[in-house]
């Protein structure tokens, strides 16, 4: 079901944690709430779940206002940071815990949704951490919730496991047709998994959109540097051209003329022979196989990190020239 959070505020003692947070998740979408530690993500999720009351604002699941309802009447499924399965109950009994008797079929259906058909008789300690997290998702999906809330569900997993479990969780949510909210401070996780990203800062959602649109057109410099990498340089804008250390660069959007800053994405830098563009010294080469990240010092205090193809010939100590490709993001002061 569609989730609509409107202008929610919440203070603990004198500390205002949510300052008018609004969020819309369309039916069947997976939305990531992305923000730094302490910005209020978990508090927002707990308010949607009903574990915490709100001071003002509203939360609607479908057409129904749920702010006054206890958690068990909201039709919300929750996947916590750690699977938190009952250790003495089988996988099937964990999944069926909140269901009426005679729900074995629904339990098996949900295990199938998360790719664990046939695992029902195992005990939690007999399956991996990633599988436990999928059981937690099956348990959340079992009562047909209107919305599924996932609070940093991959935190407890090894990095190597995280990527595959992410894919499996996304696939299971899509198979179930669930509307879901994923809270994370990991931008790669948000950008790669979610249909929409809501960037949260200091108790507010400052921008919502598809991952590609937020990356391409961040609403301010804070979002530009938090969602994706960016090198920020002082610049002056005039008639849609931003002038900075790297030259006169066309802006993505024609804005107010005057002083400000440009945010340059790593894939916009082109490394050339010395003499072309602005000169610099290669400091570091990180090789990832399919691509590489090259750190170049342009002048004391100004360092860029360029993303290039993996087969580039650069070595630390090389002199290079740097140019910028494509329109740039300019933010007035
Ligand atoms: P993290 O990524 O670290 O979990 P977060 O964005 O989820 O952070 P919250 O857990 O929502 O942030 O916390 C936001 C702020 O509210 C923090 O400063 C936290 O200390 C405070 N806070 C949260 N819950 C309570 C509470 N029950 N009583 C007092 N302060 C609280």
* Contacts of the segment 48-54: beta carbons below 8 A, 24+ positions apart: 48/3, 48/5, 48/76, 48/147, 48/149, 48/181, 49/74, 49/76, 49/78, 49/149, 50/74, 50/76, 52/10, 53/10, 54/8, 54/9, 54/10, 54/18
**What ranges do the domains of the chain cover?**
3-221, 229-332
Tokens standing for residue 172: 């299971």
Ligand 1 atom index nearest CA of 203: 14
Q: Kindly report the protein residue whose alpha carbon is nearest to atom 2 of ligand 1.
A: 37
Pocket test for ligand 1, best of 14, 41, 199, 201 (most atoms within 8 A of CB): 41
| Separation in Å, CA 301 to CA 87, 150, 239, 304 | 54, 41, 29, 10
Distance 16 CA to ligand 1 centre (A): 10
- At 305 the pLDDT is 95
Number of neighbouring beta carbons within 10 Å of residue 324: 24
Q: Report the topology of domain 3-221.
A: Rossmann fold (3.40.50)
- At 318 the pLDDT is 95
Pocket test for ligand 1, best of 42, 49, 81 (most atoms within 8 A of CB): 42
The pair phi, psi for residue 270, each rounded to 5°, is: -120, 125
Q: Kindly report the protein residue whose alpha carbon is nearest to atom 1 of ligand 1.
A: 37
Residue-wise pLDDT tens for the chain (333 aa)?
999 999 999 999 989 999 999 999 999 999 999 999 999 999 999 999 999 999 999 999 999 999 999 999 999 999 988 878 999 999 999 999 988 888 999 999 999 999 999 999 999 999 998 899 999 999 999 999 999 999 998 887 888 888 888 999 999 999 999 999 999 989 989 998 999 999 999 999 999 999 999 999 999 999 999 998 999 999 999 989 999 999 999 998 877 789 999 999 999 999 999 999 999 999 999 998 889 999 999 987 899 999 998 888 889 999 999 999 989 999 998
Distance 37 CA to ligand 1 centre (A): 8
How many alpha carbons lie under 13 Å from residue 17 in its C-beta half-sphere? 18
The pair phi, psi for residue 46, each rounded to 5°, is: -65, -30
Pocket of ligand 1, beta carbon within 6 A: 12, 17, 35, 37-43, 185
Distance 277 CA to ligand 1 centre (A): 47
Two domains, one topology: 3-221 and 229-332: no
Burial class (CB in 10 A: 0-12, 13-18, 19+), 93: middle
- At 84 the pLDDT is 86
The pair phi, psi for residue 248, each rounded to 5°, is: -95, 115
- Whole-structure pTM over 0.80, yes or no? yes
How many alpha carbons lie under 13 Å from residue 295 in its C-beta half-sphere? 9
- At 82 the pLDDT is 83
- Sheet holding 56-61: strands in order across? 15-25, 3-12, 56-61, 64-65
Distance 59 CA to ligand 1 centre (A): 19
Distance 52 CA to ligand 1 centre (A): 12
The pair phi, psi for residue 180, each rounded to 5°, is: -140, 150
Do the strands 3-12 and 269-272 form a parallel or antiparallel pair, or are they unpaired? Answer: unpaired
Distance CA 294, CA 288 (A): 11
Distance 199 CA to ligand 1 centre (A): 16
Distance CA 52, CA 67 (A): 10
Distance CA 180, CA 170 (A): 10
State the DSSP string of 29-60.
-EEEEE--TTSSHHHHHHHHHTSS--SEEEEE
Tokens standing for residue 10: 């919440």
CA 47 to chain centre: 19
- At 102 the pLDDT is 83
Distance 39 CA to ligand 1 centre (A): 7
Q: Kindly report the protein residue whose alpha carbon is nearest to atom 23 of ligand 1.
A: 43
The DSSP element (H or E) to which 132 belongs, if any, is: helix 129-141
Give, in words, the CATH class of 229-332. mainly beta
Residue of 197, 191, 226, 199 whose CA lies nearest to 21: 199
Q: What residues have CB less than 8 Å from 267, skipping those under 6 apart?
A: 306, 307
Ligand 1 atom index nearest CA of 44: 11
CA-angle at 156, arms to 153 and 158, nearest 5°: 115
Distance CA 267, CA 255 (A): 23
């Amino acid at each position: 079901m569609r989730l609509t959070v409107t202008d929610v505020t919440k203070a603990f003692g004198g500390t205002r944690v949510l300052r008018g947070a609004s969020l819309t998740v369309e039916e069947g979408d997976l939305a990531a709430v992305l923000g730094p530690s302490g910005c209020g993500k978990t508090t927002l999720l707990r308010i949607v779940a009903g574990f915490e009351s709100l001071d003002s604002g509203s939360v609607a699941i479908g057409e129904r206002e749920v702010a006054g309802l206890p958690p068990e009447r909201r039709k919300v499924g929750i996947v916590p940071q750690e699977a938190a399965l009952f250790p003495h109950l089988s996988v099937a009994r964990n999944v069926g815990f909140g269901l009426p008797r005679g729900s074995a079929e629904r339990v098996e259906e949900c295990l199938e949704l998360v790719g664990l058909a046939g695992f029902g008789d195992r005990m939690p300690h007999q399956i991996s951490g990633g599988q436990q997290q999928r059981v937690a998702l099956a348990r959340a999906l079992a009562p047909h919730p209107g919305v599924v809330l996932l609070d940093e569900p991959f935190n407890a997993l090894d990095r190597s496991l995280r990527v595959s479990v992410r894919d499996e969780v996304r696939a299971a949510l899509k198979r179930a047709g669930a509307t879901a909210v994923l809270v994370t401070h990991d931008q790669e996780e948000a950008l790669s998994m979610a249909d929409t990203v809501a960037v949260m800062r200091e108790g507010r959602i400052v921008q919502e959109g598809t991952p590609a649109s937020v990356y391409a057109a961040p609403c301010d410099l804070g979002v530009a540097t938090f969602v994706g990498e960016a090198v920020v340089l002082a610049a002056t804008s005039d008639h849609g051209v931003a002038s900075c250390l790297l030259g006169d660069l066309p802006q993505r959007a024609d804005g107010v003329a005057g002083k400000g800053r440009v945010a340059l994405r790593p894939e916009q830098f082109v490394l050339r022979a010395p003499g072309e563009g602005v000169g610099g010294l290669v400091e570091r080469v990180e090789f990832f196989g399919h691509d590489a990240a090259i750190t170049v010092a342009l002048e004391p205090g100004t360092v860029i990190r360029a993303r290039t193809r993996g087969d580039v010939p650069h070595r630390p100590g090389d002199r290079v020239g740097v140019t910028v490709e494509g329109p740039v993001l300019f933010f007035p002061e």
